[in-house]
Amino acid sequence: MIKIAHLIGGESASSADARIGPVFNPATGEQTAELELAGRATVENAIMRAEAAFAEWSARTPINRARIMFAYKELMQANMDELAVLVSREHGKTIADAKGSITRGIEIIEFACGIPQLLKGEFSSNVGTGVDSFNLRQPLGVCAGITPFNFPAMVPLWMYPVALACGNTFILKPSEKTPSCPLRMAELAHEAGVPKDVLQVVNGDKEAVDTLLQDDRVKAVSFVGSTPIAEYIYRTGTANNKRVQALGGAKNHMIVMPDADIPQVTDALIGSAFGSAGERCMAISVAVCVGEETANNVRDAVSQAASKLHVGPYTDNDSDFGPLSNQAHMTKVLSYIDTGVSEGADLVTDGRNLKLQGYEDGYFVGPCVFDNVTPDMTIYKEEIFGPVLGIVRSNSYADALSLVDEHELGNGAALFTNDGGVSRHFVEQSKIGMVGVNVPIPVPVAYHSFGGWKRSLFGDHHMHGPEGIRFYTKLKTATVAWPGGKQTGPEFSIPTLS
């Protein structure tokens, strides 16, 4: 049995009194590793080291840190195959899906390589006679990231490359369900030149999280996960005077207009609803079809396409998507499907009771498609986080947009249409943080920022891109009267530009 510990000070670190948690292969249901869960003392040791390393790291020139990011990018690309297997073995997603998520993470490292330009401030000459004013962006200190099981490579890379490039030190607390890839990525960062105390990984559960949230030496916390936990992270962190960005859950809608191309819509829904077994915060889980004919066409096309999907383990190159991440989550997803049936939705494609030969104990759920879903149903209101798509019927675009806007979660939404006027109205007026037009999963590229609205985001800053730079730095403004100016005597009124 593999034993997995922490990466503290560049070394695999264990403690004699550690609690142990299991790590499973979702395709087989077999335990593959024992994971050490950090207690308070272990986390505090990592914080102490990170705080001590901050002065030297933050004093380095931005170009020095950028060159390390360039080296890190090369190492990540060179080790792509190994990292993808680590992701797939513990999460269950296909190798192609794992590589795609790692690639999106590497793009954040590429963005961080531009840190000398990104940290440039603003300068105003002669704001007063012989007086200049300019600003600087300076690092915060020790930062922490708490990341989810579904993207063990991509989401950590949303956080620490930007934080490190800005001059901060960083402690990563990955999901205890998928710990191996984050540990390996940190080792590669050290190989690229990141000092060993500057980036550390502690594995753990609530005890480790609460230690990070309560310790005064931690200045900022980034989080991605469910909405209830995001709210807890935000409220606890800010109560302890920390800067917090906490991204929560999603219930992403796709509005399908009568003029939309149904084959294009079908492909988009199949990929966005069922890719990665629906375990994505940008998955489309609700199709809002405008008009009965539109709804009937979408239902028939999507249910037919869904029935042809190949569900299997990551070792099968023909798999369209794999199992759910863990047994408890599979049980939860199946209970949502049962609830949808009992509440009156029409289950036109039933993915329950899926058993694969040789993988009978795996956590597999096939694609499920519900029709005639209504806003009062549990499967509409709550995030399922599984391969479940609900079709809602709407009489008009205005009614469809109201459904999108009135949901408490505002992470992402899409519109499929050939009407430019409707498209522009949707982009400008929808109350959603990330929107797509004829794009089913509108995840921003690395040099833009990722984040939702409403109860999908707690805090003022989205992740990576320009917002990431703002989050991981504090603004300082300097007003300088250069030596040698004329002495004018004491001034008792507030300075002005005259």
Whole-Å CA distances, 325 to 30, 124, 161, 284: 12, 53, 26, 19
Q: Which two tokens stand for residue 264?
A: 């294009």
> What pLDDT is recorded for position 485?
60
- State which H helix or E strand residue 191 sits in: helix 180-192
Q: How many C-alpha atoms does 353 have within 13 Å on its Cβ side?
A: 3
Q: Assess contact for 269 and 245: CB atoms under 8 A.
A: no
Render 359-397 in DSSP notation, one character per residue: -TTS-----EEEES--TTSHHHHS---SSEEEEEEESSH
> What pLDDT is recorded for position 486?
65
pLDDT tens track of the chain, all 498 residues? 899 999 999 999 987 778 999 999 999 999 999 999 999 999 999 999 999 999 999 999 999 999 999 999 999 999 999 999 999 999 999 999 999 999 999 999 999 999 999 999 999 999 988 899 999 999 999 999 999 999 999 999 999 999 999 999 999 999 999 999 999 999 999 999 999 999 999 999 999 999 999 999 999 999 999 999 999 999 999 999 999 999 999 999 999 999 999 999 999 999 999 999 999 999 999 999 999 999 999 999 999 999 999 999 999 999 999 999 999 999 999 999 999 999 999 999 999 999 899 999 999 999 999 999 999 999 999 999 999 999 999 999 999 999 999 999 999 999 999 999 999 999 999 999 999 999 999 999 999 999 999 999 999 999 999 999 999 999 999 999 988 766 667 777 777 765
The pTM score is 0.95
Q: How far apart are CA 280 and CA 260, in angstroms?
A: 25
Contacts of 87 (CB under 8 A, 6+ apart): 93, 98, 101, 102, 152, 153, 178, 181
Q: How far apart are CA 349 and CA 79, in angstroms?
A: 39
Q: Which two tokens stand for residue 9?
A: 């000070």
CATH fold label, 2-248+456-478: Aldehyde Dehydrogenase; Chain A, domain 1 (3.40.605)
Handedness of CA 233, 234, 235, 236 (dihedral sign): positive
Q: Which two tokens stand for residue 30?
A: 């077999």
Q: How far apart are CA 314 and CA 293, in angstroms?
A: 38
Domain positions in the chain are 2-248+456-478, 252-437
Using DSSP, state whether 299 is helix, strand or coil.
Answer: helix
- Assign domain 252-437 to its CATH architecture: 3-Layer(aba) Sandwich (3.40)
Strands (E), 249-337: 252-256, 284-290
Q: How far apart are CA 88 and CA 49, in angstroms?
A: 32
> What pLDDT is recorded for position 274?
98
Render 48-108 in DSSP notation, one character per residue: HHHHHHHHHHHHS-HHHHHHHHHHHHHHHHHTHHHHHHHHHHHH---HHHHHHHHHHHHHH
> What pLDDT is recorded for position 497?
65
Domains 2-248+456-478 and 252-437 alike in fold:
no
Burial of 486 (0-12, 13-18, 19+ CB in 10 A): exposed
**Residue given tokens 């039933």 in the structure block:** 350
> What pLDDT is recorded for position 367?
98
Render 4-23 in DSSP notation, one character per residue: E-EEETTEEE--TT-EEEEE
What is the four-CA torsion angle of 454, 455, 456, 462, rounded to 10 degrees?
60
Q: How far apart are CA 66 and CA 466, in angstroms?
A: 16
Q: Which residues are catalytic?
A: 281
Using DSSP, state whether 346 is helix, strand or coil.
Answer: strand
